[in-house]
Chains A and B, each alone.
Chain A
Amino acid sequence: MTLTGKRILMGNEAIAFGAMKAGLQIASGYPGTPSSEVMETIISHAKEYGIYAEWATNEKVALETAVGAAYSGANAIVTMKQVGLNVASDPLMSLSYIGVKGSLVILVSDDPGPHSSQTEQDTRAFGHFSNIPVLDPSTPQEAYDMAKLAFKLSHELETPVILRTTTRVSHGCADVIIEDIDPVPRDIEGFVKDTRWTIFPKLTAQRHPLLEELQVKMSDRFSEYFTDNSFNSITKGSSNIGIAASGVSSLYVQEAIKDHPGTFSFFKTATAYPFPEKAALDFMKGISDLIVVEELDPYMEEQFLQIAGRHHLTINIHGKKDGSFSFSGEYDVDVVIDGINRALDKTGSKTCRFSHSIAAIKAEDIPSLPIRAPTLCAGCMHRTVFYGFKKAAAKMRSKTGVDSVFSGDIGCYTLGNARPLNMVNTCLCMGAGISIAAGLSHTQEFGNGLNAKQVAFIGDSTFFHSGIAAVVSAVYNNANITIAVLDNRTTAMTGHQPHPGIGITAMGSPAKMIDIAEVLKSCGVGMVKTIEADDLDKCMDIATEAMKFEGPSAVVFKGKCVAICKGTGQYIVDEDKCTGCKLCISQLGCPAIFSIPSGLPVIQDTCSGCGLCAQICPSDAIVLKEVSQ
């Protein structure tokens, strides 16, 4: 396939092309926004280029799979989002001691903001923690070029390399110049038995000094990049004020200082860890004030502070730690302008200040606007299940005085927390719903002294990711919990990747389907039922039965994801029958139904025909729309 030339690519696509150009042979990953499209792109080209690609059940498994491939001399990539790296951190920390043969690139996407994550953590810190080099591209083009560099470095230095992106690089599109991919089959050397692959205290003790030496070597290498590599650069300015930035923040700085060309010295680095200390020291000489601009952790700022301290430099360093910049939130040009101005005020310098562009309208003139929080899709099966449990729990509370706590999990169904469902009382991380429910079940009483039934919701992909171990632990420890598996037959939130419950692999081959109910049974869950999630009454009945059960019980609710399945019709409001009670609006929060002031509910074109509103309507006023021929 002819690729050479300019193409419009998302950063994640550019990384996939860069990896394939570098000779990628094996890819493994677990989906997570904003990283998923790297694997998606590799998978869509895998057969063409003879690559083996798979979605693993979680990030630890994905990393270990890629590690095995790299031990055999293969060029491997593993992909995940920043919180996924936490799951993979156990093998990661040992791996840095062992190193790899072949090459291994760990693609991790951070999410400043955050846009769709539980944390605003910084993978550069993880590189530092684990002694693994981190590359930090600022544009899709750099992402492409640095993906190639990451494989090269990994092979040369026999170490895994982290390619770290942020949302604006991963999910931004740009015109990217890429090259043809070599179609020649590339042989893998194969695994060679050697004591170096088995970590033992003795080996760790031997390897640790070498690992530390490698950090110095890499730091020096990255300092050299300032003279012979476009990723790192130093520009000298006329004032004695310098600005340093990495990743996408460097672009915001460049745009912010454009109106004052030549004034500031500028240090731009895309090699985040090990920090290029020699180049940084050189840059700091002759500078009285240094402004460090970086999203997430003050990682670079701390590096500069250490260098300044060690070399007794008379330099003021401004960034997050002196309050010039915020520790949290995503940056943009406006944030950077304000931060630089705050830092400049602290320098006492009379140099220019930066101004914002003038908008067409003042912020205070904009009228108040409706709040528009993300919510479960119109027709989503999760709404029926949540509502069924809500009703069953209310009945149980009024009859027996036993309250319920609903522990949620990470997936689309986290949106069950939204009003008016309010069905997520706890949510921590993938798989934690079940273990938290188990923990809560061992506390004697709930809140006001009432006993409580613990219910955990988990999705199908999350069940395989980290739910199973939690089920085993809950059963073994006699936790009195009900597990509701919301099985919509896909990994919906990240773009509908297959998983072991589907019976198809990433590459599209049929595979053994792992039956979630059978897994639950074999784990020893006392009551396991499976039900289609389209009938509210049946959902309520089974929810009641499961919650009444003493000991661990589970229901697998099977349904479909409306984002990939065609709707089954549309409902409309029969205005003659509607009494305007608005139960359909106040109870369900379906985005297809809205109320006009002092009017009857209106069902919009986005209705996919789940019929939940019709099932709860006390006047039978919601009916299927007849299709005109």
Chain B
Amino acid sequence: MKFDILIAGVGGQGVVLASRLLATAAMDAGFHVATAETIGMAQREGSVTSHVRIGDDVCGSLIPQGKADLLIGLEPAETARNLLFLGKDGNMVVNEHAIMPSTQGCDEYDPEMILDFLKSSCPGTITADFTELAKDAGTYKAANVAMIAAAAGAGLLPFSTEYLWGVLEKMIPEKYRDVNRRVFDRAIESVSGNNRKVINKD
């Protein structure tokens, strides 16, 4: 079994935490994991990606192009930027909430156009404004949690939602636990209408 997840977003959105949560849940579910994360200078407002590789083969932590089974995009343009990593049969979960670059030239960014492109490139793509969903549930900062919960809820992960919540419960400080639980549940609910896909674990 080999399952590769790429998470893309903007520094400050919680890309690294999302990959830690996924990797830890995968390990708890009995898999080997390897991750590669962007830490350092690009952290703030720059493009960031995390690679999460789950499975029996110990490989390098960087996913080759065209190999990702799942692309979780916390921001439309960052999702498109990393689309080459997605394999032919891969799936996407995309946050509709755009982050406009602060420097000049941002007039060139049309998030709606990018979202349309993403949906047409990968017809099964799950899109929602997960930032708004998280904000409604208590904090916009939990968009990362909403997105991995949505991926789990849609059956796009090789382990069950229980492993994911188990890790969240351990890793999130007690005072933020309730709000994250709300975000988690609402995100799962939001994708319950989607066709659940079964992933072969063998």
Selecting from A153-161, A516-524, A584-592, the interface stretch reads A584-592
A627 contact set on B, CB distance < 8 A:
none
Question: Is residue B27 within 8 Å, beta carbon to beta carbon, of the partner chain?
Answer: yes
Asked whether, in the complex, the Cβ of A371 is within 8 Å of the Cβ of B105, the reply is yes
18 contacts between A and B (CB under 8 A): A6-B27, A33-B41, A116-B40, A174-B33, A174-B34, A333-B60, A366-B80, A369-B80, A369-B109, A370-B100, A371-B101, A372-B78, A373-B103, A374-B11, A375-B44, A375-B102, A375-B103, A585-B102
- Asked if A512 is at the interface of the complex by the 8 Å CB criterion, the answer is no
Q: Roughly how many angstroms separate A373 CA and B103 CA in the complex, as a whole number?
A: 9
Closest CB-CB distance, A40 to chain B, in whole Å? 12
Contact check, A173 vs B84: say whether CB atoms are below 8 A apart: no
> What residue of chain A has the Cβ atom nearest to residue B84's Cβ?
A359
The residue on B at minimum CB distance from A249 is B60
Number of chain B residues close to chain A: CB under 8 A:
62
B23 to chain A, nearest CB (A): 6
Q: How far is the CB of A447 from chain B (nearest CB, A)?
A: 26
Contact of B60 among A34, A332, A605 (CB under 8 A): A332
Does A168 lie within 8 Å of B65, measured CB to CB? Answer: no
Contacts of B140 in A (CB 8 A): 605
A286 located at the interface, meaning its Cβ lies under 8 Å from any Cβ of chain B in the complex = no
Nearest opposing residue in chain A for B46, CB measure:
A374
With A33-B39, A370-B101 as contacts: A172 and B86 at CB distance below 8 Å = no
Does A377 belong to the interface (CB within 8 Å)?
yes
Binding site for A on B (CB under 8 A): 10-12, 19-20, 23-24, 27, 32-47, 57-62, 64-67, 77-78, 80-81, 83-88, 90, 99-109, 113-114, 117, 121-122, 140
Task: Say how far A256's CB is from chain B's closest CB, in angstroms.
Answer: 8
Most chain A beta-carbon neighbours within 10 Å: one of B45, B58, B122: B45
The 3 A-B pairs at the shortest CB distance, nearest first, are namely: A116-B40, A357-B66, A251-B60
Establish whether residues A172 and B37, one from each chain, have CB atoms under 8 Å apart when the complex forms: yes
A89 to B112, CA, bound (A): 53
- The secondary-structure label for the interface of chain B is mixed
Docked-complex contact B109 and A115, CB < 8 angstroms = no
Count chain A residues whose beta carbon lies closer than 8 angstroms to a beta carbon of B. Answer: 64
Bound together, the chains give a CA A563 to CA B57 distance in angstroms of: 38
Given contacts A173-B20, A370-B105, A591-B45, are A360 and B90 in contact (CB under 8 A)?
A: yes
Task: Give bound CA distance, A591 to B43, whole Å.
Answer: 13
Contact between A115 and B27, CB atoms less than 8 A apart: no
* Partner among A357, A365, A366 whose Cβ is within 8 Å of the Cβ of B65: A357
Q: Chain B nearest CB: distance from A14 CB in Å?
A: 12
- A418 at interface by CB-CB < 8 Å: yes
Note all chain A residues with C-beta closer than 8 A to B40: 33-34, 115-116, 493
User: Closest Cβ of chain B: how far from A547's Cβ, in Å?
Assistant: 27
CB distance from A172 to the nearest CB of B (A): 4
Bound CA span A530–B162, Å: 54
Contacting A255 at CB < 8 Å: which of B36, B39, B59, B65? B59
Digitize A368-412: 1 where CB-to-B-CB distance is under 8 Å, 0 elsewhere: 111111111100000000000000000000000000000000000
Instruction: Pick out which of these stretches binds chain B: A196-204, A275-283, A593-601.
Output: A593-601
Interfacial residues of chain A within 161-200, with CB under 8 A of chain B in the complex:
168, 171-175
> What is the chain A residue whose CB lies nearest that of B51?
A172
- Min CB distance, B144 to chain A, in Å? 15
Which secondary structure dominates chain A's binding surface?
A: loop
Confirm or deny: A566 has a beta carbon within 8 angstroms of a beta carbon on chain B: no
- Give the complex CA separation of A313 and B97 in angstroms: 61
Instruction: Please tell me if A361 contacts chain B, counting CB pairs below 8 Å.
Output: yes
Distance (whole angstroms) from the CB of A374 to the closest CB of chain B: 4
Contact for A172 among B12, B36, B57, B102, CB less than 8 A: B36
CB of B102 within 8 A of CB of A173, answer no
CA distance A563 to B88 in the complex (A): 39
A225 contacts chain B at the CB level, 8 A cutoff: no
Given contacts A173-B20, A493-B40, A602-B100, 18 further A-B contacts (CB under 8 A): A33-B40, A115-B38, A115-B40, A171-B36, A174-B32, A175-B27, A251-B60, A356-B66, A359-B66, A360-B122, A366-B117, A367-B114, A369-B77, A369-B80, A372-B46, A373-B46, A374-B43, A376-B44
Greatest chain A CB density within 10 A among B41, B59, B80 is at B41
CB neighbours (8 Å) of B66 from chain A are 356-360
Q: How far is the CA of A365 from the CA of B86 in the complex (A)?
A: 14
Best-surrounded residue of B47, B102, B105, B121 (most CB of chain A within 10 A) = B102
- Decide if A425 is an interface residue (CB 8 Å cutoff): no
Min C-beta distance of A495 to chain B, whole Å? 9
Query: A363–B64 contact, CB under 8 A?
Result: no
Residues from chain A with Cβ under 8 Å of B121 in the complex: 360-361, 365
Tell me the smallest distance from the CB of B33 to a CB of chain A, in Å. 6
Q: A367-B80, A377-B44 are in contact. Are A594 and B61 (CB under 8 A)?
A: no
- From A173, A372, A376, A419, B37 is in contact (CB under 8 Å) with A173
Q: Which residue of B lies closest to A495 (CB)?
A: B39
Q: Contact at A594–B39, with CB atoms within 8 Å?
A: no
Interface residues of A in 338-370 (CB under 8 A from B): 356-361, 363, 365-370
Give the chain A neighbours of B44 by CB distance below 8 A. 374-377, 415, 563, 591
Q: Is the CB of A171 within 8 A of B39?
A: yes
Q: How distant is the Cα of A520 from the Cα of B46 in the complex, in angstroms? A: 35
Q: Is B104 within 8 A of A586, CB to CB?
A: yes
A420 within 8 A of B: yes
| Chain A stretch 206-262: residues in CB contact (< 8 A) with chain B | 248, 251-252, 254-255, 258
Q: At the interface, yes or no: A334 with Cβ under 8 Å from chain B? A: yes
Neighbouring A residues of B78 by C-beta, 8 Å:
372
**What is the CA–CA distance of A230 and B164 in the complex, to the nearest angstrom?**
34
Whether A375 pairs with B35 at a CB distance below 8 angstroms is no
Taking CB atoms and an 8 Å cut-off, the chain A residues in 411-444 that contact chain B are 415, 418-420
Q: Which of A371, A596, A605 has the most CB of B within 10 A?
A: A371
